[in-house]
Amino acid sequence: MEINLLLLFMIFAAIVAVEIEDLLSSVIAMGAVGLGLSLAFLILKAPDLAITQLVVEILCLIILIRATINKDLPLVKDGRWLFNTTATLTFVGLFLIFAYFALKDLPQFGAPIMRVAKDYIASGLEKTGAANLVASVVLDFRVYDTLGEATVLFTAAIGVLAVIRKVGRINANKKNE
Amino acid sequence: MSEYILCLGLFSIGLYCVLRKRNIIKIIIGLGIIEYAVNLFLILIAYRTHGRAPILDKAQDTLNIVDPLPQALVLTSIVIGLAVTALIVAIAIRIFEKYNTFDITKIRRLRG
């Protein structure tokens, strides 16, 4: 199965991204994971998601490279190495135990339940007029969800501008006086 | 079922990165990997074997279509992930300007 191979490639790239010393190489390896995810969406029959993931991944890489460029500092190795590693592996193991119990109740791979989506598929075309069902769900059936997404997006943009700004407004006024 | 397990493995790598690494950029990368794993997991649940993309066509029947609802919700989630990453990176850049380091144990003012 090609999806298994692609997932193995993504896991390999993720291990490289986590373990490599150089920060810029780490960011590039994370880009490999994201672009592999875009291909995986294409294999899993989700073309809209593949396009969006491609664009978002490239923007994400640009932002992260802006953060890391010219700031390549050596990683620190000292500190409580044994305690940190043990605690981390304990938490990951705990997560995997819970995931093992949850995995048994999931639907079998390749056989979705589709209790809600049945109505969308049956009446999507006549109610919304869109042949693409993902577009009809995003822009018509669940349009409040999209409105919330736009709100979060613009709030985050305002947050970025407020954090990144060099001089606060009060200080700027004082300098002018 | 092996797809679910590999996806969980990807999530675990991201979790390990977030919990273990001390560099802020590495933590951001770990968060990104976790986000990818969760998005992929939702799409894996929606997949139907030998299914086709959720685009209606008069020539074909709608029985073997994949689930369009998780795809629409993940579309929202991907864009929100970009916004979250941009906000975290902005905060990380400010921290670097103030403390001149990415190491979270060296950022003194944040200690309790």
Q: What is the pLDDT of residues A64-104, one digit of tens each?
A: 888 887 665 666 666 677 888 888 899 999 999 998 888 88
B104 contact residues in A (CB cutoff 8 A)? none
A125 or A74, greater pLDDT: A125
Nearest CA to CA, how far is B59 from chain A (Å)?
A: 13
- Looking at the partner chain, which of A8, A60, A134 has a beta carbon nearest the beta carbon of B54? A134
Quickly state the pLDDT bin for B2 (edges 50, 70, 90). confident
- Ranges of each domain in chain B: 2-110
Alpha helices in A44-115 (DSSP H): 47-68, 81-103
Stretch 89-108 of chain B: residues touching chain A, C-beta under 8 Å: 89-94, 96, 101-103, 105
Provide the pLDDT for residue A171.
67
CATH tag for B2-110 (out of 1.10.260.40, 1.10.287.3510, 2.40.50.100, 3.40.718.10): 1.10.287.3510
Instruction: Tell me what the mean pLDDT of segment B29-34 comes to.
Output: 93
User: What pLDDT score does A169 carry?
Assistant: 66
Would you say B24 and B97 are in contact if contact means Cβ atoms under 8 Å apart? Answer: no
- The pLDDT of residue A78: 63
Residues above pLDDT 90, as percent of chain A: 34
Q: How far is CA B74 from the centre of its chain?
A: 10
pLDDT score, position A58: 93
pLDDT at A77: 62
- At residue A129, the 3 state secondary structure works out as coil
Distance in angstroms (rounded) separating the CA atoms of residues A114 and A116: 6
Q: Tell whether A158 is within 8 A of chain B (Cβ).
A: no
**Two tokens at B66?**
């994949």
CB contact at 8 A, B74 and B38? no
A95-110 pLDDT, tens digit per residue, is 999 988 888 888 888 7
Place of tokens 């992929």: B40
List the single range of A83-87, A123-127, A169-173 with lowest mean pLDDT.
A169-173
Q: Is B68 within 8 Å of A133 (Cβ atoms)?
A: yes
Q: Average pLDDT for residues B24-42, to the nearest whole number?
A: 92
pLDDT class of A172 with cuts at 50, 70, 90:
low
Q: What is the pLDDT of residues B79-104, one digit of tens each?
A: 999 999 999 999 988 888 888 777 77
pLDDT at A145 exceeding the cut of 60: yes
Question: With DSSP H G I counted as helix, E B as strand and the rest as coil, what are the percentages for chain B, rounded to 5?
Answer: 70, 5, 25
**pLDDT average, residue stretch B48-58:** 81
What does the pLDDT look like over A5-30, one tens digit per residue? 999 999 999 999 988 888 888 999 99
pLDDT recorded at residue B78? 92
The pLDDT, as a whole number, for residue A130 is 80
How does the average pLDDT of chain B come out, rounded?
86
Q: Inform me whether the C-beta atom of residue A93 falls under 8 Å from chain B C-beta atoms.
A: no
Locate the domains of chain A by residue range: 1-71
Tell me the mean pLDDT in the region B6-17: 91
pLDDT at A50 over 70: yes
From B7, B8, B29, residue closest to A96, measured CB to CB: B8
CA dist A159 and A161 (Å) reads 5
pLDDT (average), residues B23-52: 89
Q: What is the ipTM of this complex?
A: 0.88
Among B18, B50, B66, B42, which Cα is nearest to A53's? B42
